[in-house]
Amino acid sequence: MKLVPLGDRVVIKQLEAEEMTKSGIVLPGQAKEKPQEAEVVAVGPGGMVDGKEVAMQVKPGDKIIYSKYAGTEVKLEGEMYIIVKQGDILAIVE
Amino acid sequence: MKLVPLGDRVVIKQLEAEEMTKSGIVLPGQAKEKPQEAEVVAVGPGGMVDGKEVAMQVKPGDKIIYSKYAGTEVKLEGEMYIIVKQGDILAIVE
Amino acid sequence: MKLVPLGDRVVIKQLEAEEMTKSGIVLPGQAKEKPQEAEVVAVGPGGMVDGKEVAMQVKPGDKIIYSKYAGTEVKLEGEMYIIVKQGDILAIVE
Amino acid sequence: MKLVPLGDRVVIKQLEAEEMTKSGIVLPGQAKEKPQEAEVVAVGPGGMVDGKEVAMQVKPGDKIIYSKYAGTEVKLEGEMYIIVKQGDILAIVE
Amino acid sequence: MKLVPLGDRVVIKQLEAEEMTKSGIVLPGQAKEKPQEAEVVAVGPGGMVDGKEVAMQVKPGDKIIYSKYAGTEVKLEGEMYIIVKQGDILAIVE
Amino acid sequence: MKLVPLGDRVVIKQLEAEEMTKSGIVLPGQAKEKPQEAEVVAVGPGGMVDGKEVAMQVKPGDKIIYSKYAGTEVKLEGEMYIIVKQGDILAIVE
Amino acid sequence: MKLVPLGDRVVIKQLEAEEMTKSGIVLPGQAKEKPQEAEVVAVGPGGMVDGKEVAMQVKPGDKIIYSKYAGTEVKLEGEMYIIVKQGDILAIVE
C-alpha cells in the first residue's frame, strides 16, 4: 500500500528535528512558521497545476527543508506521512 | 438517482477513518485540516474551470486522501456523499 | 414577468430540503456551507465572464445541488428565487 | 446635468422594494446581501476594464436586480442614484 | 510647482459636498464608502499599470464622482489635492 | 557604500513633511495612509517583476509623493533611507 | 552539508544589525517590517516559479537588505540560515 500524490504534491516523512543550539539549549524557532527536515517518499507528476506548468525538482530520497504548516498529515499502515505542495519545499539538504 | 458533478468536481464516499496508533491510542491529527480517506464515486468532465484547463486524474473506485474541510456533504437516498474539487484530493492510495 | 440572468448566473428555485436520516433524525450538516437541492429556472448566456470564457452546463429543469451561501434570494410576484453563479452549482442530480 | 459612468459602471435608480410575502408579512431577506430592484439610467462604455474585456449587456430603461452593498450612492440635483459595476447586476427583469 | 501623477493616477481637487436633501436635512450616506464630487487637476500617462494596459478616460477640468477612501490626500503650497487611481473614479458629471 | 535596489524598487530619502495649514495649525491627515514627500536616491532596473513587465518612470533627484506605509526603512552609514516599490509612488512634484 | 534552495529562493546568513543612531540611541524601526542586512549564501535556479519566469539577480557573497518576516529560519550544523524568496530582497549593498 502506498501514497501516489496528485499534481505538484510530494509525500514526505519527517526526520527528527534538531533544534538544539551548540550549548544544548532548545531554540524555540519562529512561532508562525516552523521549518522541518524531512525525506521525500513519493513525488507527484507535476504538469498543469492550477493553470500553471510545474516541473518537479525533488526526487524520492532527497532530504529537504519544508514549511511545516503547509502540509497535511496522513497515516498509512501505522506510519505517519506529510503531503506538501512542491512550492512549500524550501531547499534540498545535500 | 445519481450525482453528476460539474467541472473539476468529484463525488466521493468517506471510508471509516483509521486514526489509531499501533499502540491503539487515538491520534488527534491537525486541528485545522483533517485528512480523510474516501472512495471516488463520480468524476466531473474537467475541461475549462475558472479559466484554467483541468484534466481529471482520478476515476470511480480510486481510494483517495483528501482535505476534509474543502468538501460539501450531500445526502441522496439515505447515503451521505462529499463533493470536492479535484485540487482538494491529495493522493491516491494504491 | 421573468428573471433573465446575466453572464454565468443561473436562476434556481429551491426544493424542500430532505435532511432526515433513515431513522428520521435531523442531520445538522456543516455549519459553514449548507448544500441545497434546487431546480434550474433560467440560465445566463455564459461567454466572457470576469475575463474568463464560461460555457453553461446546466439547463432549465435540471435538478441540482448548490452551495447555499453563494446565492442571492430574489422575490418576484410572490415566488422566491435564488440567483447563483454556475461555479456554485456542485452537481446535477439525475 | 447627468452622470456618465466610466468603464463597466452602470448608473441605476432604485425602485421601491417589494419585500412582502403573499400574507403581507415583511420578509427580512439575507442580512449580508440584500437584492434590489432598480432601473438602469446610464451605462458605461465597457471595453478594457482592469485588464479584462467587458461587453455591456444592459441598456437604459432595463429593470434589473442587483446586489445592494456593491454600489455607491450618489446624489445629483436632489435625485439619488447608485453606481454599480455591471458584474454586480444579477439579472434583468422582463 | 505641480503634481505629475504616475501610471493610472489622477490628481483631483475636492468640491464642496452637497449632501442636503430637498427638505434641507443632511443625508448621512454610506458609512463605508462616501462618494465625492471633485475636479480633475492632472492625469497620469496610463499605459502598462500593474501588468494591465490602462487608457486614461478623464482629462483636466472634468467634474467627477469618486470613492473617497480610495484616494490619498496631498498638500502642496497650501492647497489640498487628492491622488486617486482612475479605477476609483465612478462617473463624469456633465 | 550604496543601496542598489532590485526589480521595481526605488530608494528614497524623506524630506521634512510640511503638514501645516496656512494658519499654522497642524493637519492630522488620514490615519491609515500618510502621504510623504521624498527625493529619489536610486532606482531599480525594472523589467520582469512578479511576472509583469515594469518600466521605471522616476530617476535619481526626482521629488516624489509616496504612500508611507508601503516602504521599508533602511539605515546605512548613519543615514535613513526608505525602499519602496515604484507602484507606491503616487506623483512627481515638479 | 549544504542547503540547495529551490525555485526563486535564496539562502542568506544574517549580519549583526546596526540599529544605532549616530548618538548611540537604539532606533526601534517599524514594528511590522524590520529590514535586515544579510549575506547571500546560496541562490536557487530561478526559472518558472508559481507560473512566472524569474531571473535570479543576486549571487553568493552579495550583501543584501531584506524584509525579515518573509523568511524562514533554518538551522544546519549549528549555523542559523534564513531562506527567503528573491522578491523579499529589497536591495544589494555595494
Residue E65 above 90 pLDDT?
Answer: yes
- Inter-chain touch D94–C11, beta carbons under 8 Å: no
Substitution target from E72, E76, E84, E85 for chain F, most F beta carbons within 10 A = E72
- List, for residues C1-46, the tens digit of each pLDDT value: 899 999 999 999 988 654 444 444 444 544 444 568 999 999 999 9
Sheet order of strands, B3-5 included = B3-5, C89-93, C63-67, C35-43, C9-14, C79-85, C72-76
Within a domain: A24: no
Q: Where are the alpha helices (DSSP H) in chain F?
A: none
Burial of residue F68 (number of CB atoms within 10 Å: 0-12, 13-18, 19+): middle
In a domain, F26, yes or no: yes
Which residues face D10 on adjacent strands? Answer: D43, D84
User: Residues F48-76: what's their mean pLDDT?
Assistant: 90
**Residue D33, in any domain of the structure:** yes
pLDDT confidence of residue C19: 46
Predicted ipTM? 0.78
Are F61 and F42 a contacting pair, CB within 8 Å?
A: no
Interface check for B23 against chain A (CB to CB < 8 A): the answer is no
pLDDT of amino acid A35: 65
Which chains does chain G touch, 3 or more C-beta pairs < 8 A?
A, F
Q: Which residue has the cell 529590514?
A: G35
Q: Quick check: F82 pLDDT over 80?
A: yes
E55 interaction partners in chain D (CB closer than 8 Å): 48
CB contacts, 8 Å: G92 with chain F: 3-4, 6
Q: Which of G27, G86, G90 sits opposite F72 (nearest CB)?
A: G90
**Residue A1: per-residue pLDDT:** 84
Q: B24-33, B45-54, D56-65 — which one is most confidently predicted on average?
A: D56-65
Establish if F68 belongs to a structural domain: yes
Q: Is G48 on the interface with A (CB under 8 A)?
A: yes
Cβ proximity of G87 and F50 under 8 Å? yes
- Residue E26: pLDDT band by 50, 70, 90 thresholds? very low
Is B63 domain-assigned? Answer: yes
Q: Domain count of chain E? A: 1
Question: Model confidence at G78, in pLDDT bands (50, 70, 90)?
Answer: confident
* Neighboring chain B residues of A9 at a CB cutoff of 8 Å: 90-91
- Report pLDDT for C51: 86
CA angle, residues E38, E43, E48, in degrees to nearest 5: 130
Phi, psi of G68 (to 5 degrees): -55, -45
Looking at the predicted structure, is the pLDDT value of residue G87 above 50?
yes
Instruction: Report yes or no: D26 at the C interface, CB cutoff 8 Å.
Output: no
Question: Is F62 a residue whose pLDDT tops 60?
Answer: yes
Torsion angle in degrees (nearest 10) through CA of E15, E19, E23, E26: -130
Amino acid F34: pLDDT: 56
Look-up of cell digits 521634512: F16
Q: Which of F29, F67, F91 sits opposite E4 (nearest CB)?
A: F91
Amino acid G35: pLDDT: 66
Is residue G40 within 8 Å of residue G60, measured between CB atoms? yes
Under 8 Å between Cβ of G90 and F5:
yes
Across G65-75, average pLDDT: 85
Record the cell numbers describing residue A88, joined without a space: 512549500
- Determine the pLDDT at residue F77: 85
**According to the model, what pLDDT value does residue B30 have?**
42
Compute the average pLDDT of residues E13-32.
Answer: 54
Beta bridge partner(s), residue E79: E76
Among residues D89, G54, D25, E29, which one has the least CA distance to residue F51?
Answer: G54
C4/D94 CB distance under 8 A: yes
B70-81 pLDDT, tens digit each: 888 898 888 999
Q: Residue B10 class from Cβ within 10 Å (0-12 exposed, 13-18 middle, 19+ buried)?
A: buried
Place of cell 542568506: G12
Letter for the amino acid at D82?
A: I
**Which chain A residues have a beta carbon less than 8 Å from that of G1?**
93-94
Of C1-15, C68-82, E10-24, the range with the lowest mean pLDDT is E10-24
Mean pLDDT, to the nearest integer, of G31-54?
83
- Which stretches in chain D have pLDDT values below 70? 16-35
**Confidence class for position E76, pLDDT limits 50, 70, 90:** confident
The number of angstroms, rounded, from the C-alpha of G77 to the middle of its chain's C-alpha atoms is 19
Separation CA D84–CA D70 (nearest Å): 6
- In terms of residue numbers, what domain contains F40? 9-92
The C-alpha cell of E38 is what? 471633485
In a domain, F67, yes or no: yes
- d(C-alpha E67, C-alpha G18), whole Å: 43
Phi, psi of B89 (to 5 degrees): -90, 125
Cβ neighbours of C78 in D, within 8 Å: 21-22
∠ CA F50-F56-F57, nearest 5°, is 140
- The reply to whether residue G57 touches residue F4, judged by beta carbons under 8 angstroms, is no
Selected for mutation to probe chain D from E22, E65, E89, E94 (highest D CB count within 10 Å) is: E65
SS3 E11: strand
- Cα gap D25→G84, rounded to integer Å: 60
Greater confidence, F18 or C6? C6
Specify the CATH number for the domain of residue F35: 2.30.33.40
| Reported confidence tier of residue A26, pLDDT bands at 50, 70, 90 | very low
**What is the percentage of chain F residues whose pLDDT exceeds 90?**
52
φ, ψ of residue A75 in degrees (nearest 5)? -110, 125
CA dist A92 → A63, A67, B14, G52 (Å)? 6, 13, 35, 22
Identify the chains in contact with E, defined as 3+ C-beta pairs within 8 A.
Answer: D, F
Partner chains of A (3+ C-beta pairs under 8 Å): B, G
Residue E3 in contact with partner chain F when CB distance is under 8 A: yes
- Pick from F80, F87, F93: which is nearest to F44 by CA? F87
Q: Residue D26: its pLDDT value, please?
A: 47
**pLDDT for res A30:** 42
Residue C25: predicted pLDDT: 47
Range picked from C77-81, E80-84, G31-35 for highest mean pLDDT:
E80-84
Q: pLDDT tens digit string along A42-80?
A: 999 999 898 888 999 999 999 999 987 788 888 888 899
Using a 10 angstrom Cβ sphere, with 0-12 exposed, 13-18 middle and 19 or more buried, the burial of residue D91 is: buried
Strands C47-49 and C52-54 come out as: antiparallel
- Which residue on chain C is closest to B8 by alpha carbon? C90
Backbone phi, psi, residue A43, to 5°: -125, 130
Residue B69: the pLDDT is 74
Residue E62 one-letter amino acid: D
Q: Tell me the pairing of strands F52-54 and E35-43.
A: unpaired
- Residues C28, A31: Cα–Cα separation, whole Å: 36
User: In this model, does residue F71 exceed pLDDT 80?
Assistant: yes
pLDDT, averaged across chain A: 83
Query: Which member of C6, C50, C75 has the closest CB to residue D90?
Result: C6
The pLDDT-based confidence of E32 (bands split at 50, 70, 90) is very low
Q: Is residue E73 classed exposed, middle or buried when 0-12, 13-18 and 19+ CB atoms within 10 A define those classes?
A: middle
Residues from chain D contacting residue E87 (CB–CB below 8 Å): 7, 50
CA-based R_g, chain B, Å: 14
CA distance B90 to B45: 19
The amino acid that residue E36 corresponds to is Q
Which chain C residues are Cβ-neighbours of B1 within 8 angstroms? 93-94
CA-based end-to-end distance of chain F: 29
pLDDT at D36: 80
**Residue C92 above 90 pLDDT?**
yes
* Inside any domain, residue D4: no
Q: Is residue B68 part of a domain?
A: yes
